[in-house]
Amino acid sequence: MKPVVAISIGDLNGVGAEIALKSHEVVKEFCTPLYFCNKKMLERAAKLLKVRLPKDLEIEYVEGDFSIKPGHISKKSAKLSFASFTKAVEMTANGITDALVTLPINKKAWHKARIHYSGHTDYLRKRFKKEAIMMLGCDKLYVALYTEHIPLKEVPKQIKKKKLTRFLIDFYESTEPLLPVPVLGLNPHAGDGGVLGDEEEKIAAAIEKANKKVGKDIFFGPVVPDIAFTPNFRKNLSHIVAMYHDQGLAPLKALYFDESINVSLNLPILRTSVDHGTAYDIAYKGLAKTSSYINAVRYAARHS
């Protein structure tokens, strides 16, 4: 039987509904998608897109009734997106659905609607009381982020041997990579032997301890960040661990922007997502690309 994948519909004023409806015929070949919304709202989205709602769409009812306003921040749209997400989380946690795929929400809209989470991952961490790991990429290369949405000046303070060791062990247990995984240094030239910073000493110590704990030399480094994404270096890699958001995601998106997905590791449920936002500027214009979403659903179906 095909796995049942919960689809959290996201912000209906963005591109989520367009992507889901465009991709339905493709994703139903390898899973049974269950859309968390309601038929009335999906019919409104389809009408704006000038398409027909597929007859075989399976919908899990989520309350919400409002006019879709493409590209607008809306409390009502935010509330529906949050209700869609939380119901999909619970049904996945209870084993009713096998995995969860989230379409993009608008964080400012959540804030205006007094939804006090900075996004999907923040909610998942608090719901499951687990340190979720954010990993982005595609089958060509995945990048795990040690720190995520924090100011750059705060990153060096987070480079702690014990914390990074735990991160590396959790990452390994969540992915079990077959190929060695480089761990990037924080500073240019990976500190140049301490001349440009000493954080690499803690990174090296964490790598050594994590390898000892998992029983194999799976992690290596700290690797000089500016060589890690070059063709010769990454050709025999499947994963990279980056110290901060832009260190890992700027080169990754330059390489694989349309293909990349977001995977939440180290949780009791499998959750994947598109690697882009609501794209208000192109909402309901028929321009939204579907590769990231299809890859996210495919990953969820394959690993559930």
Please state, in angstroms and rounded to a whole number, the distance separating the CA atoms of residues 47 and 52: 7
Hunting for tokens 């209700």 — which residue is that? 83
* Co-location of 185 and 82 in the same domain: no
pLDDT of 300? 97
Range(s) of the domain holding residue 65: 1-130+267-304
* Co-location of 143 and 123 in the same domain: no
Total structural domains in the chain? 2
* Co-location of 150 and 295 in the same domain: no
Query: Apex CA 295: angle with CA 268 and CA 102, to 5°?
Result: 50
Q: What is the pLDDT of residues 146-180, one digit of tens each?
A: 999 899 999 999 999 999 999 999 999 999 999 99
* Co-location of 87 and 152 in the same domain: no
* Co-location of 2 and 125 in the same domain: yes
Strand order, beta sheet including 133-138: 58-61, 32-37, 4-8, 99-102, 271-274, 261-265, 133-138, 141-145, 239-242, 181-184, 219-223
Mean of the per-residue pLDDT values of the chain: 96
Q: Stretch 122-140: mean pLDDT, rounded?
A: 95
Q: What is the pLDDT of residues 223-273, one digit of tens each?
A: 999 999 999 999 999 999 999 999 999 999 999 988 999 999 999 999 999
